[in-house]
Amino acid sequence: MSTAVLLMAACGGGADVDTSRAQGFVAQIAAAQPSAADARKRALAATEITVDAAAAFDWAEYTYPELFPKGPQNFTAPHEGVLYTVRSYANGNYLGVTPGNDIYGLGPFTNGDLKLLGNLSEFAAQIRADACSVHPGSCDADRANQLFDWAEYTYPALFPKGPPNADVVRDGVDYVERAYTNGNALRMTRGSADPTVYGFGPFTDDVLVSFGKWSDFAALVHADACNVYPGSCGGQTPTGTLNECTDPDVATLPTGFTSRLVYVYSGALTGELTGEQTIETVIDGPSQFEGQNGLENAIKITSVTSGTNIFDGEAVATSTKVESFEQLGSNGVTKTLGALVETTMSVDGISIPMLSSKTVYTPPRENLEFHIALGETGTIVSTSTTTTIVPPGSPIGSTVTDTFTFEEKVEVTVPAGKFETCQYRTNGENANSYTTAWHIVGKGIAAKIVATENGVTTLTQQLKSGSYNGAPL
C-alpha cells in the first residue's frame, strides 16, 4: 500500500428531549443580534439553495424535531388580510411565513400566542450552512467534485486530471466515483449527511480502503481551493502602509488597550426593530491558539457585545463574546488566526446559551481594509473552517471574498457628536446589497453603519457614546 494511501488516511478520520432547546428556538428567532448574525453568516458555508418557506420549515424540523416533527406539507391560510404559507404539526405547533418573509409561530411552544419569530433573511446563512444535513445527498455532486479535484491537485501521479464523475453501485452501495486510466479510483458514498470517502486500485493493492468522512477533509479542501482552481479567488490587496483612517499605534496591538462603544440601531429585518448595543474591547496580550499549524503564538483580543432588542414591545437581551487571536505582520498588517465565539440570550430573566463556535483561518486572514488609498478598491479572500460547539456540529468550510472601496472622506453627525470619517462600502451578494461604514479618522472606529439588501435599508447603527483607551472620543 502506497505512502499516499497512508497520508490520505491520516488526513481523514477513519438524547433525551431538552426543554432548553425549545426555549432556545423561541429565543433565537425572537431577536436579531447584528454583530453576532454577521459573524455567523461569514463563518458558515453558503450552500446555494433557495431560502423560502419550505427551506425554513425543513430546517426547523431538522434542528428542533421535538417541536416540529417531519411529515406535514405546506398549505396556505389567510389571517387578517395576510396569506400565510403554513405547516401544521401533530403536536399542535404551527409555523407560518408571510409574503414579506416574516416567520410566525403558534402553539404550545409559544404558550398559545401568535408570535413573530423573525425574518427569513436572518436565518438564510444558517439554513444554507445546514442544507447538506437537512437534505442528505443533496450535496453529493458538489462535494465529490471538490474532494476529487483536491486529490488530483495533491496527488497528481495517483489521480491524473481528466475523468468525469459517475454514479455507480458497488456491492449494493451507492457511490459517486471517479475512475482513472491508471486503474485507481476514488469513491464517495451517496445519500448521507457526512459521506464516507474510499479509494481502490493499484495504489491500495486493489483493496477498498476507507479514508474517513467528508468532514475530515473539508478544511483541507477549502484551504487549497485557490490553488486547486487557479484564478477563482482573485488576489489580495497590495499591503501598502496604513492609511489615515485608523490608529497606527493601536495597529501594533498594545497589551491593555481598551475601548467602550455604545451604539443605537434600528432596522426593518422583522418590522420594527430598535435597540442599543455596548461593545467593550480589550487587547489581552500574548496568548496561544490552536490554529492550522497546531498551537501558535498570538495576541488575544476580547470583545463583548451586549444589548437589548425590542420587538413589538418585547425586550430580549443578548450577549456575544468574541475572543480573536491575531499576529502582527509587516506594514501594520494584522493577521487573524481564528476566533472563539459564545452567544447567549436572556428572555424573561432566563439566560439561554445560543451558539458557541471555533473558527480557524487557513491561511490566517490578512486584515487589509485600512491599507488602501482614497478612491481605491481592495479585495480580501479568506478561507476558514468553523466548528459549532453548542449545538454540536461538524466542521464547515467557507471561502469568503470581501471587496471594499474607500469612497470618500466626509463629516457625519451621530448621537455621539460630529466626526471626520472615512466612508467605506463593502459589496454584498448583488449590486443592490452592500454595507456602508463611516470610520472615525485616526481611530478606525465606526461612527455609523448602514446595511442595504436588495435596495432596502435593513439596519442602521449609530455611535451614541464611547471611550478610547479610557478617554472620551
For each of the chain's 473 residues, which pLDDT tens digit applies? Answer: 443 444 444 454 443 333 333 333 333 333 323 333 333 233 333 345 678 899 999 999 999 999 999 989 999 988 888 899 999 999 999 999 999 889 999 999 999 999 998 888 788 878 887 888 888 888 888 889 989 999 998 899 999 988 999 999 999 999 999 999 999 999 999 998 889 999 999 999 999 999 999 888 888 887 777 778 765 554 444 456 889 999 999 999 999 999 999 999 887 654 445 678 899 999 999 999 987 677 888 999 999 998 877 655 667 788 899 999 999 877 778 999 999 999 887 766 677 777 899 999 988 998 989 998 898 888 888 889 999 888 888 888 888 888 899 999 999 999 999 999 999 999 877 778 899 999 999 999 999 999 888 888 888 999 999 999 999 98
Residues ≥6 apart with Cβ < 8 Å to 293 = none
| Distance separating alpha carbons of residues 167 and 372, to the nearest angstrom | 48
State residue 406's pLDDT score.
92
Q: Residue 418, class by beta-carbon neighbours within 10 Å (0-12 exposed, 13-18 middle, 19+ buried)?
A: exposed
Written as nine digits, the cell of 95 is: 409555523
11 phi/psi in degrees, rounded to 5:
-65, -35
Contact criterion met (CB below 8 Å) for 87 and 74: yes
State residue 73's pLDDT score.
92
State residue 311's pLDDT score.
55
Longest dimension (CA), the chain: 73
Q: Where are the domains of the chain?
A: 48-134
Residues ≥6 apart with Cβ < 8 Å to 229 = 149
| Distance separating alpha carbons of residues 226 and 444, to the nearest angstrom | 30
